[in-house]
């Protein structure tokens, strides 16, 4: 039998409604996570393949390693911190599906023993409730914080103009609820190369195309900043729910958001926003240390 490779860098792979991540347990923040490494890891031919990377570390360790300047608002030095990177190596403030997978991973791996704790992100503290977490499946609610509307803007997609609401959920979104858009029409759109107003969104934007609210539910597709089209975006579902509610003159309520990779429930109330949905841990392994060093 072939001898197993050893001494590698441990990783896991997981997804939340098929928004997939390479998870790097690095509690003491010792890994040097460069842009080129993240790109290589996320590459579906040359690497593991994912929409993003979730480094699992303590906030204090990331500060000590110089990855964070200080703890973001509401985040304690002892909190777990989701150091999130997009597939193109860029850093984003928040990832809603990522927080669910991150919390599931912590519980399933035994790193966290409580079912309610706070996950730090660059957008601030994100308290979670882990409803269930076995080795493969989890169900998590994330307190997603305030939803700030930024005004109206327009995107051009598939030779059509889409009006939407700029929404800040810690990261920037343009959520476009399209009157009378059917699920089949949504499915047929080519959302690969959206144009947006770079003066309105100077740091880029995630763009959601959304069907109008019907029986408490919407369908959504998303083009993510730093990734491209993904099969789900948690922060995007919160923006989509807020825009769909605004479209019918409401600011609060629960909306089921169907995305190509599954469904989640988003609740908006006077205290903030909440995202409930599944998480899947696919497997774990070791990255070849030489491969890491060469990237």
As annotated, the active-site residues are 95, 233
Contact between 17 and ligand LBFN2T5F per CB under 6 A:
no
Choosing from 14, 25, 72, 98, the residue that interacts with ligand LBFN2T5F (CB under 6 A) is: 98
Residues in the chain: 295
Choosing from 233, 239, 244, 257, the residue that interacts with ligand LBFN2T5F (CB under 6 A) is: 233
In the annotated binding site, the residues are 19, 86, 96-97, 171, 206, 224-225, 234-235
In the annotated binding site for substrate, the residues are 19, 86, 96-97, 171, 206, 224-225, 234-235
Contact between 95 and ligand LBFN2T5F per CB under 6 A:
yes
Label each residue of 165-231 as H, E or C.
EEEECCCEEEEEECCCCCHHHHHHCCCCCCEECCCCCCCCCEEEEECCCECCEEEEEEEECCCEEEC
Contact between 141 and ligand LBFN2T5F per CB under 6 A:
no
Contact between 121 and ligand LBFN2T5F per CB under 6 A:
no
In this complex, which beta carbon is closest to ligand LBFN2T5F, that of residue 77 or of residue 129?
Answer: 129
Choosing from 138, 145, 226, 261, the residue that interacts with ligand LBFN2T5F (CB under 6 A) is: 226
Contact between 225 and ligand LBFN2T5F per CB under 6 A:
yes
Residue of 249, 274, 272 lying closest to 264 (CA atoms): 274
Contact between 83 and ligand LBFN2T5F per CB under 6 A:
no
Contact between 235 and ligand LBFN2T5F per CB under 6 A:
yes
In this complex, which beta carbon is closest to ligand LBFN2T5F, that of residue 101 or of residue 130?
Answer: 101
Contact between 96 and ligand LBFN2T5F per CB under 6 A:
yes
Contact between 241 and ligand LBFN2T5F per CB under 6 A:
no
In this complex, which beta carbon is closest to ligand LBFN2T5F, that of residue 47 or of residue 277?
Answer: 277
On whether the CB atoms of residues 291 and 153 are closer than 8 A, the answer is: no
In this complex, which beta carbon is closest to ligand LBFN2T5F, that of residue 140 or of residue 233?
Answer: 233
Minimum distance of ligand LBFN2T5F from residue 133's CB (angstroms): 18
User: Would you tell me which residues interact with ligand LBFN2T5F (CB under 6 A)?
Assistant: 19, 86, 92, 95-98, 171, 206, 224-227, 230, 233-236
């Amino acid at each position: 039998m072939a001898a197993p490779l050893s001494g590698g860098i441990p990783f896991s792979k997981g997804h939340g409604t098929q928004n997939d991540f390479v998870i790097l347990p690095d509690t003491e923040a010792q890994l040097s996570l460069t842009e080129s490494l993240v790109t290589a890891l996320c590459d579906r031919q040359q690497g593991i393949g994912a929409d993003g990377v979730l480094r699992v570390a303590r906030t204090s360790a990331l500060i000590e390693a110089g990855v964070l300047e200080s703890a973001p608002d509401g985040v304690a030095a002892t909190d777990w911190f989701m150091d999130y990177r997009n597939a193109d190596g860029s850093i984003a403030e928040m990832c809603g599906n990522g927080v669910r997978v991150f919390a599931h991973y912590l519980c399933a791996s035994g790193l966290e023993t409580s079912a309610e704790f706070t996950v730090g992100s660059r957008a601030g503290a994100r308290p979670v409730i882990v409803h269930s977490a076995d080795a493969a499946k989890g169900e998590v609610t994330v307190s997603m914080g305030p939803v700030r509307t930024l005004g109206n803007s327009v995107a051009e997609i598939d030779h059509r103009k889409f009006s939407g609401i700029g929404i800040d959920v810690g990261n920037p979104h343009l959520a476009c609820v399209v009157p009378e858009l059917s699920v089949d029409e949504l499915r047929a759109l080519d959302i690969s190369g959206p144009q947006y107003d770079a003066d309105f969104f100077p740091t880029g934007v995630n763009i959601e195309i959304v069907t109008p609210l019907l029986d408490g539910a919407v369908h959504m597709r998303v083009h993510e900043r730093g990734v491209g089209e993904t099969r789900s975006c948690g922060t995007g579902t919160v923006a989509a729910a807020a825009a769909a509610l605004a479209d019918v003159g409401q600011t609060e309520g629960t909306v089921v958001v169907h995305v190509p990779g599954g469904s989640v429930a988003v609740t908006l109330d006077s205290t903030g926003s909440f995202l409930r949905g599944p998480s899947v841990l696919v497997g774990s392994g070791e990255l070849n240390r030489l491969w890491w060093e060469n990237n």
